[in-house]
Amino acid sequence: MNKENGISKILIEEKQINEKVKELAKRISDDYSGKENAPCLIGLLKGSFIFIADLSRYIDIPIEIDFMIVSSYGNNQIGSEIKILKDIDVQLSGRDVIIVEDIIVTGYTLEKICEVLKTRNIASLKICALLNKPSRRKVNINIDYNGFNIEDEFVVGYGIDYAQKYRNIPYIGVVS
């Protein structure tokens, strides 16, 4: 069995992803350099694990990293059904926070997380996403660091799964 079985096409090559991740990391480094407190990157598991691993290594200022796990029931149609399964461990009061997400579709997941984090007395909140499907958006989300806008196709790879598979594919592909 080949790990690429079932992938019908490559949407974004490894090299393109790498260049984009570097570019986002540079923008983050520039925006937060000289700040007294290191920003805290919060990766949403599991989909963002490769993205945040690469992104963080290209950021050349001090940062902290933590993770959250958010449940997404079924197809995420109802925002209120999104629950936090694992919260962060660090104190966020007074901190600059950057949420790192694999892909934003309806925006319900991010809306919920922003709502929760905004009750924690943080200094600022920004969003960094590798992929964005604007055609499927249901709520307004301002993506501060946006990787690629894509069409409404089901994508996998670079951490993103279909039924928990394909996360270890190094490019973004479309499942047939």
Residues that bind Mg ion (CB under 5 A): 47, 102
CB of 36 to ligand IMP, least distance (A): 32
Nearer to ligand IMP, 98 or 105 (CB): 105
* Helix (H) or strand (E) run with residue 147 in it: strand 145-149
The window from 1-9, 21-29, 32-40, 95-103 that contacts ligand IMP (CB under 6 A) reads 95-103
Task: Give me the amino acid identity at 48.
Answer: S
The partner residues of 70 in beta bridges, in order of sequence, read 84
Give phi and psi for 172, each to the nearest 5.
Answer: -95, 120
Terminal CA-CA length for the chain: 16
Nearer to Mg ion, 11 or 76 (CB): 76
CB of 61 to ligand IMP, least distance (A): 26
- Name 114's Cβ contacts closer than 8 Å, sequence gap at least 6: 99, 125, 127
Binders of ligand IMP in range 100-159 (CB under 6 A): 101-109, 154-156
List residues near ligand IMP by CB under 6 A: 47, 72, 76, 101-109, 154-156, 160
